[in-house]
Amino acid sequence: MKFIPILFSLLLIPATISAQDAVKRDEQQMHRLHNDPKSYIGALEDPKRDAYQKPQEVMMAFGLKPGEVIADIGAGSGYFTFRLAHHIGDRGKVYAVDVSPDMILHINRRIRELKATNVVSILADPDDPLLPDASVNRFFFSDSWHHIDNQTKYLSLMKKMLKAGGEIVMIDFHKKDLPVGPPMQMKIAREDLIKQMETNGFRLTKEHTFLPYQYFLVFMPK
């Protein structure tokens, strides 16, 4: 009865790969997930994520204005990209920026499926989002700042790419033991991030505290 082991392994799949965020992963499991685009997309889009990621509340907290230009850096599957696009209307634009060709391919498919005329995907350099100067109202990082290696360079580029009055919005996991999210060594503590932003010429202008596992910070150039 060959189908029993097959069935058994299929039953095991959701426990190991579903919801990057409904399970805790060690570094090895995280790397494996990053190398398996289908599972990674499945994890990012897992409906169980919504319970703590609260995407609707996040959109409301943004206070999005029609016509805004937003750069969603490390857009992944587009979990936030297409929600942002919905709120900024046809005159606005969301740049979906990622270094993974698989994620960009997935986003391009979604752009076509959803007929999203206000989303532009960008396959970027790891240390440069490749956006024009003075072109963006808000940069948005959701669980992606800790992926950027050369953060100092990235901050100085973003300062040039922001329009006057622009913001950087960052959501990421608290550096403490949590039932969800990446391993401890991949996390950046809220206090360290604020210090880093201060050192690089940004000030904290707003903080939202309704997310159970993540900080949600807004910065502007000093």
Find the binder of ligand SAM among 17, 23, 69, 73 (CB under 6 A): 73
- Closest separation in Å from C-beta 45 to ligand SAM: 8
Q: What DSSP letter does each residue of 161-202 carry, written as one string? A: HEEEEEEEEEEEE-SS--SSBS-GGG---HHHHHHHHHHTTE
Binding ligand SAM (rule: CB under 6 A), the pick from 118, 121, 137, 144 is: 144
**CA 177 to each of CA 50, 130, 174, 181, 194: distance values in angstroms, whole numbers, following the listed order:** 20, 35, 8, 9, 20
Residue selected from 33, 124, 161, 194 as contacting ligand SAM according to rule CB under 6 A: 124
121 belongs to the binding site for ligand SAM (CB under 6 A): no
- The residue among 126 and 179 lying less far from ligand SAM, judged by its C-beta, is 126
Find the part of the chain contacting ligand SAM (CB under 6 A) among 75-83, 88-96, 112-120, 214-222: 75-83
Instruction: Give the bridge partners for 119, in sequence order.
Output: 94
- Which two structure tokens, joined as six digits, stand for 129? 């989002």
Concatenated DSSP letters of 37-52 = HHHHHHHHT-GGGHHH
Binding site for ligand SAM (CB under 6 A): 44, 73-76, 79-80, 97-100, 103, 124, 126, 142-144, 147-148
